[in-house]
Amino acid sequence: MHDVRTATVTVLVATTLGLGLMGCAATVEKRVDYTTSSVSLAPGEALIVEFGEVNASVGEAWVLTREPDPMVLDEGDERNRYLGEEGETGAPSEMTYRFAAIGGGTTVVRFDYQFRGSVPDDPQDRRSAEITVTVK
């Protein structure tokens, strides 16, 4: 009887540890600067496009202007980490855009820098990012 209980406890502990470790498995994220022209991902990975500091309070923005093929990447989501002190207004944020790999293939995402809702008139102030993403 003692051997049966010991075996049962051993199996339960091993199962619990295995399930706990599975819960710790995180999605692998590949981070690239917005100036990157191409990147390869494995299935299940996520692409993080880093734009650096953006100050929305003065009208700065990076806008997704070419969405990815939904068979290759998800629609993506913009993420911002506010760099100011709590209660402070007008500070910049670190901006990233995250896309999860959905299936194999190649797609292109494009972003355009906008100031106060439009692309700047001065060509020196214009910036864009076009990244070819291959999931294989």
pTM of this structure = 0.78
Q: What pLDDT, in 10s, does the model give residues 2-28?
A: 554 544 444 444 444 444 444 455 689
* Count of C-beta atoms within a 10 Å radius of residue 114: 17
Question: CB-based contacts of 84: which residues, under 8 Å, 6+ apart?
Answer: 90, 91, 92
Which two tokens mark 79?
Answer: 């993420």
Give all strands of the β-sheet with 29-33 in edge-to-edge order.
29-33, 46-54, 93-100, 77-82
Sign of the Cα pseudo-torsion (44, 102, 69, 119, in order) = negative
* Count of C-beta atoms within a 10 Å radius of residue 12: 10
What confidence category does residue 88 fall into, taking pLDDT thresholds of 50, 70 and 90? confident
Report how far residue 75's alpha carbon sits from residue 87's, in angstroms, rounded to the nearest whole number. 32
Report how far residue 61's alpha carbon sits from residue 68's, in angstroms, rounded to the nearest whole number. 19
* Domain definitions of the chain by residue range: 27-135
What confidence category does residue 108 fall into, taking pLDDT thresholds of 50, 70 and 90? very high
Considering the four listed CATH numbers 1.10.10.10, 2.60.34.30, 3.40.50.720, 2.60.40.2020, the one that applies to the domain covering 27-135 is: 2.60.40.2020
Phi/psi of residue 24, nearest 5 degrees: -85, -15
Q: What pLDDT, in 10s, does the model give residues 27-79?
A: 899 999 999 999 999 999 999 999 999 999 999 999 999 999 999 999 999 99
pLDDT of residue 25: 56
pLDDT of residue 27: 83
